[in-house]
Chains A and B, each alone.
Chain A
């Protein structure tokens, strides 16, 4: 399913932002909020995850029903999981576009990556 992704603050994300390596942060932030309609349409249920994908990358998240969202819109708490889907272009103003991003959403059995795994493999500079 196509959707528009927005990323933003949540209480749990904020409360965990100084312990980002903790399991609490993982639980709080590696989430994808969806409307009930989309949740059902994707065939999601307890134990299933969602994979979001666009031209910038793909990421597996745990789904969560959010009554405030309309169909076709997903919300991810701000953080490294959401940012896999955010492009680097700042449109000449210095700020990337963190909201209003086109994504493809599908159900998946893949696991959510732990934070260390999310960053594994990034090339370190040789110094």
Chain B
């Protein structure tokens, strides 16, 4: 395949809007190509989108579906052509997830949080999502074995457990959510911050985070720890964010990347002491990211309208339910984690929601280096992913932001600096935040760029970057981003002008990390005991079997690299 004459944005390779041809050979970017010719003259061309933090598969996603037939009824698309029927808006069915991402030009998406013991379910759903390459991050932050290793300061055994857990879950990276709080929620309480001891376990969240970060780097995992802070969603929680980030600044990353990736920073950039004096602390947070290089973030942008909050931060969800008198699902997972699901609606005229909306945008606009910022909505917590074009155009257009702000609660300007920010992101920055940076942050070496050998995941939009002014013509931009002219996945045109033409199966990325046998042997003594005494499932039935990953892409890592 040859894509001719596109205006190409490939920031990872130093290409910022150059007219050039792209060649594809056997599903990968190549120097030369032949075959199908796609005319992209003058059109915006970027690598396929990479979503590094989205809730797309597993127990809590399906719980969201089951408890929300009201949501399923929105966004019904009958079966047609190669497409199976689609339903849902904030909790779309599996087919909708694949087709809708692909229509927008996205080709890779990662499930943000999976407990090891429920990873089988996650992989069943991932396999039902068409087109996309995918992976799942594995939860470790409230895990009994993790907490005991951390308490005993046994990082070798901890690393062995992380490797074992990733293999059992066929997971891609280490996810930490409200460390310690999920375990406290097992008896209905929470932790007040990273220094609050976890009941019954003699460790703190800070120790859990640092221990896992050390283990992560010992194992040379492609991604860093991926962290959802304690106190998420609470007024004044920006201090928790800063103090937690400080814990990690002296850890050396084992690869050319961050030491910690912060999930949905928006929800942890809150000032004020209550909902009454709630305000944005995005400038302080952005300042920190500007003056430190060990952390990256994804936005978790909130948009008005319907959402479904789903997170391993179960106490937070309980709080959401009580606040909004809404239906509430909770799911605590033995020895490992907690989670909750609560529908939500965000209102323009609710000051708190308006401030939250502003915070996400402020974070992106005030952080100088776009390589540190990923554009996400923490789907479906902030908004469904189908609304990414809305976020992108807000970031690219001050007039659009101003127009939107004029419709929001009139106190908003007092609580956020957004009104005074002139910066408008350009295509290079957008390409970084939605393609190049997520790939680099996750450690996906063949994604997010067009270098030779990279996966031929390409998005071509009905936009002429050399002619159009995204600031003024934001409506056009939004429309064009919603349905790519072409979405190409591994060299196959999967979507054209919003119509799905092909739905090939994507691959599932997971990490197989090697550790010294002696550490694994010590670990297995602990695990045999846990399975004998505490788990409700037998050890031999626990790990995800090969049958669930028919299209694996295994990334090797570890303390000792395996000899081929």
| Contact between A and B in the complex (any CB pair below 8 Å) | no
Which residues does A use to contact B, with CB under 8 Å?
Answer: none
Which residues does B use to contact A, with CB under 8 Å?
Answer: none
